[in-house]
Amino acid sequence: MLSPVDPDCDIAVATMAQLLLQQGKVNQALEYFERAASLSRTEAEIINALSYAEATRTQLQVNLPYSTPNNIAC
């Protein structure tokens, strides 16, 4: 569901991922981090995007036991 930014602009996608994560929209942020990894042009960019994606995935797993249908921000 990559729509608010140009889905082929690596900088826009990576920035949107960060903004979504800061807003607590973790599931959406993960989608953007994964897209950012696929758009990366250098090894450093790939490592950065994949590191954020994995950290976001871990955050989802850690929060899962504490989530209720009423307090999920994603």
CB 64 within 8 A of CB 56: no
Position 2 scores a pLDDT of 55
pLDDT of residue 54 exceeding 70: yes
pLDDT of residue 1: 56
pLDDT for residue 68: 65
Helix, strand, coil % (nearest 5) of the chain?
70, 0, 30
Residue 70 pLDDT more than 60?
no
This prediction's pTM: 0.78
Instruction: Please report how the helices 43-63 and 26-39 are oriented relative to each other, as an axis angle in degrees rounded to 10.
Output: 160
Both structure tokens of 42: 């250098």
C-alpha 32/C-alpha 28 separation (Å) is: 7
pLDDT digits (tens, 9 = 90+) for 5-38: 898 999 999 999 999 999 999 999 999 999 999 9
